[in-house]
Amino acid sequence: MAKYICTVCGYEYDKKFGDPDNGIEEGTSFEEIPEDWVCPTCGVGKEDFEEDFYGDDEEDE
């Protein structure tokens, strides 16, 4: 599983938690988020996020 990090402010999107305050349910992969979604911290688009793998042995469901 990977987190996606905002390159502008450092916000971490983790599918495990989603972004419920902005209509993204937990378990939603970054690829499934609508293209018009923006970073809840600084407002930039998905194009300003980078994939950041972390080693926690969880399988990507």
pLDDT at residue number 55: 53
Give the burial string for 11-32 (b: 16+ CB within 10 Å, else e). bebebeebbeeeebeeebebee
What is the pTM (predicted TM-score) of this model? 0.81
The model's pLDDT over 6-19, given as tens digits with 9 standing for 90+, comes to 999 999 999 999 99
pLDDT at residue number 60: 46
Beta pairing partners, 36: none
